[in-house]
Amino acid sequence: MDQIIVQGNGPLKGEIPIAGAKNACLTLMPATLLTDQPLTLTNAPRLSDIRTMTSLLQSLGAEVAPLQEGQVLAMSSHALTSQHADYEIVRKMRASILVLGPLLARYGHAEVSLPGGCAIGARPVDFHLRAFEAMGAELDLRDGYVRAKAPAGGLKGAVVDFPVVSVGATENALLAATLAKGTTVLKNAAREPEIVDLAQCLRRMGAQIEGEGTSTITIQGVETLNGATHPVVTDRIELGTYMLAPAMCGGEVECLGGRIDLLAAFCEKLHEAGISVEETARGLKVSRKDGPVKAVNVVTKPFPGFPTDLQAQFMALMCVAEGTSVLEETIFENRFMHAPELIRMGANIEVHGGHATVTGVENLRGAPVMATDLRASVSLILAGMAAEGQTTVSRVYHLDRGYEHVVRKLRGVGADIERIKEE
């Protein structure tokens, strides 16, 4: 198992290209199941989660070509052989549940294992299932599988009012509704850029969708969808992560492809903390040249609020800020597992339920630490880059699920970082 070794190395300088969004790509890939014509995604990231979704689609009989140069992902579901998504693949990644809606909508039945993924709290699929029931599906949960059957004539348009905002449930319902008979209205829908990206791709495929990016999305079902070519939106979580590197270490880094509208709430918090963010012709330029980082409070919220997927990384910044900050996690109930590892590096953090109180220290100290999930792993790398001495991060396989070429990108702006094979 690999480790990442980080040595505190002072200010950063240069540029980092930002990849296509993992979460968007994982949502777009199941859209191939809705049509017998080719779907091609450009700007697709090279990540282990993308490979897992590829394996899942191939297990259903879809053709998925190896990721080509230029990050082109070509897929076709013209001859599916199965509507059964097996546990051995689905357990690796929660996004696997997104094949349920397309299979149910196109074929009228599906059998999909309940999913796995990062251990950061309960992420139930209840809201997905309620949406399908509203469209007339019959559901049977047995032996760890969801067995779903559409009514005669296919899924029916319906009003789906989500009790809480759910990105995954919004995506699954949106995918299914494109082929449902009549009009489907999704209320209290998620507003994330990944939802907007999915709607834009589906519209290219012939779907009739209005309201993406708002809390009410209206879909008029169509008989069939066609193929399309669609560019994956910039990964806003990778963007925010690399924006924090110069914030912690000092210096100036330009994040190529970055846009403030993808991370407005996050950028506001960086500004409050004393970090400069400028839009450029190529992306976003982030710098911290003078003065200490200031402590600021953060509450994670659904988009357009502060992203839960940047909470761990922002906590690392607050560990070296001047003053005391409070980070409140409202999305997942078990997402402070990185705090004990940061404490090993000298951070002053107290966790009480969904709140973490962070009192900044003058310097973090390098230490052996262990990644507990995807975002925690990169928060420890950021902390190591700003710490005195050497930090060794173990269990970095989490990192491969969401960050493409992280060592290469950070080295490119001056970080002292390497990946080694664990003995």
What's the rounded Cα separation, in Å, for the pair 307 and 310?
A: 6
Instruction: Give the gyration radius of the chain's Cα atoms.
Output: 22
Least confident of 80-89, 281-290, 330-339, 369-378: 330-339
| pLDDT over 50 at 119, yes or no | no
309 is in an annotated binding site: yes
E strands, 108-193, where? 109-113, 138-142, 145-149, 159-161, 183-187
Two tokens, residue 287? 């710098």
Position 66 scores a pLDDT of 84
Confidence band of 50 (pLDDT split at 50, 70, 90): very high
pLDDT (tens digit per residue) in 128-180: 999 999 999 999 988 889 999 999 999 999 999 999 999 999 999 999 999 99
What's the rounded Cα separation, in Å, for the pair 317 and 269?
A: 11
E strands, 257-316, where? 276-279, 283-288, 298-299
Confidence band of 118 (pLDDT split at 50, 70, 90): very low
23 is in an annotated binding site: yes
Mean pLDDT over 222-227 rounds to 98
Position 398 scores a pLDDT of 84
- Which residues of the chain form CATH 3.65.10.10? 2-19+234-421, 22-231
Q: pTM for this structure?
A: 0.90
Position 121 scores a pLDDT of 43
Position 376 scores a pLDDT of 87
Q: Which residues are catalytic?
A: 118
pLDDT (tens digit per residue) in 351-395: 999 999 999 999 999 999 998 888 889 999 999 999 999 999 999
Beta bridge partners of 287: 252, 276
Buried b (16+ CB within 10 A) or exposed e, 379-414: bbbbbbbbbeeebbbbbbebbbbbbbebbebbebbb
% of the chain residues with pLDDT over 70 = 97
Position 332 scores a pLDDT of 75
13 is in an annotated binding site: no
2-19+234-421 falls under which CATH superfamily? Enolpyruvate transferase domain (3.65.10.10)
Residue in this structure with the two tokens 């994956």, named with its chain if needed: 232
22-231: CATH, from 3.65.10.10, 3.30.450.40, 3.90.79.10, 3.40.50.300: 3.65.10.10
51 is in an annotated binding site: no
